[in-house]
Amino acid sequence: QLDYLIALGTHQPMEEEAIDRLVGVPAAKRAERYPNVQIFNHHWDQPSWLRHIGTIPRAEASQLTAGLLAEDVPIVLNRLIFDYNHLIICGPVFPHEVAGFSGGAKYLFPGIAGPEIINFTHWLGALVTSMHTIGVKDTPIRRVIHRAAEYVPRPLLSICLVLQGSALHGIYTGACVETFNAAADLSASLNIITKPHTFQRVLAAPAEIYDDLWTAAKAMYKTEPAVADGGEVIIYAPHLTEVSYTHGHLIDEVGYHVRDYFLKQPARFQDVPGTIKAHSTHVKGGGTYDAETNTETPRIHVTLATGIPEERCRRINLGYLDPRRINPREWEGREDEGLLYVPHAGEKLYRVPAEC
């Protein structure tokens, strides 16, 4: 018996048509050819699908996170794993805004995890900041993920894929930590682009596979390090009409803000899940907040040129630009002018040398 559990984290369950496209075989043919194979969606927010397998104690959590977060971390996973004798983790390794790199045990946490550890790791990533996490192999978040994986009561085999675009460059199989480390090294050499200088404006155009800002925001995360102070990232995605299909109502209430906006108002945001606050500050980027004057000063400006209405963009504290006014071709070949155009944004990480 070989079944598949889609590691969705907090993303929406995939509909049958989407699963058909993902695996390349329609459901009817799968049932005919592979009658003993099933494909499941993960349900992070349904307690009946989850099981508690242990807790990282407060003191150890503090040690793993270098003192950033000192609280018990309940480890909750999809209960389906207990129906099997062996677990195989399979997925790509790319620079990632929360964990440093995707891949390996990250497909357990948050991939098939419950809300507690998802919120913990995402808020931890926000405290470190995306700028100091993305493209870094050893992060506090990755340490928590690897420690949590040690609680899994089934043998684990990790298959880490390294791609550049759609081209496969490496497959690493074996134990979670060793395969991840090797795959992250290769991925860094393929998927991190170092530019000689920063840019005043970046036009980042994510692919249409990203169907809401929650996912398309990778266009911001992976270009932010190459933007000069006071510069601007324009997320150019006319096909986008939604902020988040899963969390949109919460984001409408909270908006997008720099990290210190939340840190200096803990009581106000104590009931907001860490995942929401983390997404908010990752999209807004670095900056400062003065609680006495209620003044928020982001390091850069983030502007949406999407199908999301201007009123909503302003309400959630992001800039707006009519996508009909943008011609991507006019941005090409102008790097010496401080303008960078990134098609397929979100696939590769752009940054500059530390001295820039």
Q: Give CATH for domain 1-193.
A: 3.40.50.11440
Query: Could you write out the DSSP letters of every residue in 134-190?
Result: TT-SS-HHHHHHHHHHTT-SS-EEEEEEEEETTEEEEEEEESHHHHHHHHHHHHHHH
Q: What is the reported pLDDT for 140?
A: 98
Collect all residues with Cβ–Cβ distance below 8 Å to 337 and sequence separation of at least 6.
none
- Amino acid identity, position 132: H
Q: What is the reported pLDDT for 109?
A: 98
Q: What is the reported pLDDT for 356?
A: 67
Q: What is the reported pLDDT for 54?
A: 98
| C-alpha of 332 from chain center | 27
**Ramachandran assignment for 125, one of left (phi > 0), alpha (psi -120 to 50 degrees), beta (any other):** alpha
Q: What is the reported pLDDT for 354?
A: 81
Class of domain 195-356: alpha beta
Q: What gap in Å lies between CA 101 and CA 118, rounded to an integer?
A: 16
Q: Residue 200, SS3? A: strand
Collect all residues with Cβ–Cβ distance below 8 Å to 283 and sequence separation of at least 6.
213, 217, 220, 221, 256, 302, 318
* Maximal CA-CA distance, the chain: 66
Where along the chain do its domains lie? 1-193, 195-356
User: Could you identify the residue written with the tokens 């996170």?
Assistant: 65
Question: What is the full per-residue pLDDT of the chain (356 aa) written as tens digits?
Answer: 899 999 999 999 999 999 999 999 999 999 999 999 999 999 999 999 999 999 999 999 999 999 999 999 999 999 999 999 999 999 999 999 999 999 999 999 999 999 999 999 999 999 999 999 999 999 999 999 999 999 999 999 999 999 999 999 999 999 999 999 999 999 999 999 999 999 999 999 999 999 999 999 999 999 999 999 999 999 999 999 999 999 999 999 999 999 999 999 999 999 999 999 999 999 999 999 999 999 999 999 999 999 999 999 999 999 999 999 999 999 999 999 999 999 999 999 999 998 66
Sheet bearing 227-237, strands edge to edge: 319-320, 301-306, 227-237, 199-206, 339-345
Q: What gap in Å lies between CA 4 and CA 37, rounded to an integer?
A: 8
